Chains A and B, each alone.
Chain A
């Protein structure tokens, strides 16, 4: 067969046919992000140094507290938490912290979501990790360096999660390589060694392994997973049999509160089951989910109306809804934001309830859906 020869004309013609790549964001969205980026740059300049001082002050109080006269009380075991951590932490910040931290810092203590603004110059990777009781997969957002290869970011993220601190178990994800395939970022390759612990697990362990992989790859935008055992295609599970590849189901989920006990943090966790509509998801969030999943919409809060405008949704609470400043109300709003993201909404406006603001969220204003749930050490790494 004759070899095809390219000349300048052919090349130029092909180059001229290259498609125009367009921005998917709206003008308003870009402008809002721009305003926030400018504010963040200014805020970063003064806030981070002062935050370091605050953390240092809190640390000094924590270290010397036993010898200070005003803190002579026995410390309960549940209070022995690492007060140096700035983000995802105990349910309430310590009392010393409350007096020292500004409202904004207090909000970030409570927050169980990552917003695009909070990222500063970082990316996040969401890793689905089983809890220590092996009941449920918890998606955890870990800040990672921007512009790294996705596989490298995932590796870093996994290594940064302190399983003891957060009540998680990384055992099944250790030694697992997760990389995008060459042909498409929709297809991901998962590789394990022959000695991987999942091969000696019961059926529950196998399910948790698959669910961890599914959750992690879902957040990376993957649609399909191909398994490999070292160089060989597929994984031979004892109970589930031989699995070569799985599709990531296109399910939409409702978010619940996960709380395994007083020593560990509260997380926002998606329902394992698919929910057909956003309205149905909001209804389900009023009731407890299965196992350790608690309702996110507390009693006393009633949603009067939900209106959808393209990728924007307005949630109107009744005027008599009890929207107080308790953490559970902020977590409810964050659970609604995460659920809205599941259903493809990009912004949410909260209205009614007789309030103007809950935590960092203004009522009556568009709020962008989060980039991920359950952040750890975002600010600490940003320093």
Chain B
């Protein structure tokens, strides 16, 4: 087994997988994207200059791979043109992954609300709070300035707050309706 792969796997595989999963929200797609990250990393490992930490360098590659995935997905949708969405398709979003479905309600709601954020907001939230990176590390991984990270984080938390309150309100409404019935 390639020693570079082995080392990177031991140190960072879980982080990369987790990061990509929260971005694309599908296990199979995540597996494919992780593979793409490894291919890119192994191809360019010799050129890694150590200007940032290995972890943020890997995450920056993972971020590029994720953005590229979203771009391809968007262009595919544009090519398909306006779809005639059936009733079922509108109503049936992606089901919750098992790991989330077994968590308490707030976590499930948060997972759903996170999806409503912009890609940049999701990147910051995932790196800062789910991956526990510092502002500096997040800025390195995203190739942004620290102030851009802070601003995006601030806006992301603001919209998440709004979405969470909306969702909680909706849930409360439904519970009350059920109890009246």
In this assembly, does A177 line the interface, its C-beta being within 8 Å of a C-beta of chain B?
yes
The minimal Cβ–Cβ distance linking A15 to chain B, given in whole angstroms, is 4
Contact of B151 with A by CB under 8 A: no
B76 contacts chain A at the CB level, 8 A cutoff: yes
Contact B130 A18 (CB under 8 A): yes
B29:A11 contact, CB within 8 angstroms: no
| Complex interface residues of chain B between 128 and 160 (CB less than 8 A to chain A) | 129-130, 132, 157, 160
| Chief secondary structure at chain B's binding surface | helix
B73 touches A147 (CB 8 A): yes
Decide if B35 touches A37 in the complex (CB within 8 Å).
yes
Docked complex Cα distance between A191 and B92 (Å): 14
Instruction: Tell yes or no: B170 within 8 A of A by CB.
Output: no
Tell whether, in the assembled complex, residue B91 and residue A18 are in contact, meaning their CB atoms are under 8 Å apart: no
Contact with B along A136-174 (1 / 0, CB 8 A): 000000000111010100000000000000000000000
Q: Which of A4, A27, A179 contacts B165 (CB 8 A)?
A: A4
Interface stretch (choices B45-53, B58-66, B102-110): B102-110
Q: Which of B28, B103, B129, B172 contacts A19 (CB 8 A)?
A: B103
Residues of B within 8 A of A1 (CB): 172
Smallest CB-CB separation from A15: which chain B residue? B129
* Residue B93 interfacial (CB < 8 Å): yes
Distance from A136 Cβ to chain B, minimum over Cβ atoms (Å): 29
Residue among B9, B86, B88, B100 making CB contact with A30, cutoff 8 Å: B9
Q: Which of A12, A18, A24, A180 contacts B111, CB < 8 Å? A: A18
A194 at the interface (CB under 8 A from B): no
Counting contact residues on chain B (CB < 8 A from A), the size range is 35 or more
Interface residues on A, range: 35 or more
Check: B89 CB closer than 8 A to any chain A CB. Answer: yes
Q: Is the CB of B89 within 8 A of A18?
A: no
- A3-B169, A11-B160, A151-B88 provided; 20 other pairs, C-beta below 8 A? A6-B161, A6-B165, A14-B106, A14-B110, A15-B110, A17-B107, A18-B100, A18-B110, A20-B14, A21-B30, A23-B14, A23-B30, A23-B34, A27-B1, A30-B9, A34-B5, A37-B35, A146-B32, A147-B73, A186-B95
* 29 examples of A-B residue contacts, CB within 8 angstroms: A6-B160, A11-B161, A14-B110, A15-B125, A15-B129, A17-B107, A18-B22, A18-B100, A18-B111, A18-B129, A20-B14, A21-B22, A21-B99, A22-B14, A22-B17, A22-B18, A23-B13, A23-B17, A23-B30, A23-B31, A23-B34, A25-B31, A28-B1, A30-B9, A30-B34, A30-B35, A34-B38, A147-B76, A186-B95
